Amino acid sequence: MEDLVSLCKRRGFIFQSGEIYGGLQGMYDFGPLGVELKNNLKHSWWSSMIYENDNIEGLDAAILTNPSILKQSGHEDTFSDPMVDCKSCNLRFRADQVPEHCKEEDLTEPRQFNLMFKTNVGPIDDGTSFGYLRPETAQSIFTNFKNIVDSTSKSLPFGIAQIGKAFRNEITPRNFIFRVREFEQMELEFFVKPGTDEKWHESWVQKRLDWWVQQGVPMESIELYEVPKDELAHYSKRTVDVMYKFPHGLEELEGIANRTDFDLGSHTKNQEDLNITAKVIENKSSNSRLAIQDNESKKWLVPYVIEPSAGVERGILAIINEAYNVEQLKDGKERTVLKLRPHLSPVKAAVIPLKKNNEDLVKLAANLKTKLQKLNLGRIVLENSGNIGKGYRRHDEIGTPMCITIDFESLEDNSATVRDRDTMEQKRIQIEDLPAYLMQIIND
Ligand code: ATP
């Protein structure tokens, strides 16, 4: 983990938030390369959900949330972790995460601590007008269910997907970006006909595993965890966690839950008239019924929901951990290389003029950069430091799939040296062929 944290800081992926003031626990900022990597990962998820499935729609809803929503979802009453105080070191911990140096006899009885951040809304601060920072993106998907069904004419099965910030006042944030207080989730709520939910659950577990493998997280580093019945969240009929071997241990990367008809049911008025199976929370404030007409029977029903919910930060940590390699070279030296899948790489290609002060070389390189940038594959950089070796080292460390060197021969024959990040092989390619070549590498 230390190596990853150090690389992330040194190369500009991830910084502690507010570091110059001593930081703020459980918060991180994504730097110039981190934001590219994060955007690429989110784009990959978004396109695998929405662009590849005509029955999935996207959403980008507000973060500040009406308390009634989180009352009905059960979060106000139950979204808490057990907390204990250590009377010896005077620190607080989540009851299942007490460090070894604290003795059992020094700990208080666990008490429930609600993880939601509450904030004042509007100019009057007397506690009557407040909202929560959402603890999951899912609820706004449920509350927009009718809007989306009405505006897109969807019928079952269909999904609504959202990527966005979520906030949890974790008692003990730790392990770099693994457990933080502000993070991003990529959540799909997939609505199905009751009775078909178990089959859909299975199929989403498989689809999500396939996706993680495509992001460079191999099956050897993953285990599925069947959450025991007595540990299931209040809304869940079954949850399968995708567990990943993080540097600090095997922990949850994504959770895939069968949320039944609990959420839509709880947000619905006149619940008794519908065949809701979950133990819903009685609703006196909603003005809507979150039901849909069944295509065959024409009856109104509240769908079941399958929810794959993945954390962006945990994904980034797993991906960097898998990609990070230190290799021994033949000349006795070492190189650090981030073998990211090219579609995730923060920089897609570096164009390097052999000499930084040579106008002709720099001009040819700059033109090539512009041309490659127009392909819209992601960031292309012109690396004009005049030190090829240093350029290669930097781009190995940040995971750039290819470096293109423009030298004096290039001015004669319009070719360039292309160096492959993983094999370090170099070959000559005609400059006019480079756009197609790069496109193939990135889209592979
Ligand atoms: P944990 O048991 O580790 O606290 P959880 O079961 O509460 O996680 P979920 O409510 O299932 O997590 O949230 C879905 C996903 O959101 C998780 O799989 C994880 O990737 C991400 N996530 C949840 N809490 C955090 C956090 N504090 N920091 C970073 N990511 C998080």
The domains found in the chain, sorted by start residue, are 32-79+135-319 (3.30.930.10), 345-443 (3.40.50.800)
- Residue 194 confidence (pLDDT): 95
Query: Could you list the mean pLDDT of each consecutive 10-residue stretch along the chain, which spans 444 residues?
Result: 93 95 94 98 98 97 96 92 90 89 91 91 86 97 97 95 97 93 98 97 98 98 97 95 97 98 94 89 91 90 97 98 94 94 98 92 96 96 89 95 95 95 95 96 88
- Residue 154 confidence (pLDDT): 92
- Residue 81 confidence (pLDDT): 86
Q: Is 281 in the pocket of ligand 1 (CB under 6 A)?
A: no
Inter-residue long-range contacts of 334-338, CB under 8 Å, 24+ positions, other chains counted: 335/393, 335/396, 336/7, 336/396, 336/397, 337/396, 337/397, 337/399, 337/421, 337/422, 338/7, 338/396, 338/397, 338/398, 338/399
Write the residue with the smallest CA distance to atom 8 of ligand 1. 252
Q: Is 179 in the pocket of ligand 1 (CB under 6 A)?
A: yes
Q: What distances in angstroms separate CA 67 from CA 75, 128, 132, 172, 244, one per listed residue?
A: 9, 11, 6, 25, 34
241 in Cβ contact with 223 (< 8 Å): no
Q: What is the pLDDT of residues 162-173, one digit of tens each?
A: 999 999 999 889
Integer Cα distance of 173 and 26 in angstroms: 5
Write the residue with the smallest CA distance to atom 21 of ligand 1. 311
- Residue 352 confidence (pLDDT): 95
Atom of ligand 1 nearest to the CA of 314: 20
Atom of ligand 1 nearest to the CA of 241: 18
Q: Is 369 in the pocket of ligand 1 (CB under 6 A)?
A: no
Residues forming a β-bridge with 56:
159
- Residue 307 confidence (pLDDT): 98
Contact partners, residue 417, CB within 8 Å, separation at least 6: 404, 405, 407, 426, 427, 428
Q: How far is the CA of 387 from the centre of ligand 1 (A)?
A: 43
Residues forming a β-bridge with 305:
191, 260
- Residue 80 confidence (pLDDT): 86
Q: What is the pLDDT of residues 99-142, one digit of tens each?
A: 888 998 999 999 888 999 999 999 888 878 999 999 999 999 99
201 in Cβ contact with 306 (< 8 Å): yes
- Residue 386 confidence (pLDDT): 79
Q: Is 208 in the pocket of ligand 1 (CB under 6 A)?
A: no
Write the residue with the smallest CA distance to atom 24 of ligand 1. 179
* Best residue among 169, 182, 183 to mutate for probing ligand 1, ranked by most atoms within 8 Å of CB: 183
- Residue 123 confidence (pLDDT): 87
Residues forming a β-bridge with 131:
119
Write the residue with the smallest CA distance to atom 29 of ligand 1. 179
428 in Cβ contact with 410 (< 8 Å): no
Integer Cα distance of 268 and 280 in angstroms: 9
Contact partners, residue 369, CB within 8 Å, separation at least 6: 351, 380, 381, 382
∠ CA 193-185-314, nearest 5°, is 120
Strand order in 415-420's β-sheet? 379-382, 347-353, 402-406, 415-420, 426-430
Q: How far is the CA of 180 from the centre of ligand 1 (A)?
A: 9
Q: Hey, what are 327's tokens?
A: 């290799």
Q: How far is the CA of 311 from the centre of ligand 1 (A)?
A: 7
Q: How far is the CA of 254 from the centre of ligand 1 (A)?
A: 7
* Best residue among 234, 314, 317, 319 to mutate for probing ligand 1, ranked by most atoms within 8 Å of CB: 314
142 in Cβ contact with 260 (< 8 Å): no
Q: Is 180 in the pocket of ligand 1 (CB under 6 A)?
A: yes
Query: If you average pLDDT over every residue of the chain, what do you get?
Result: 94
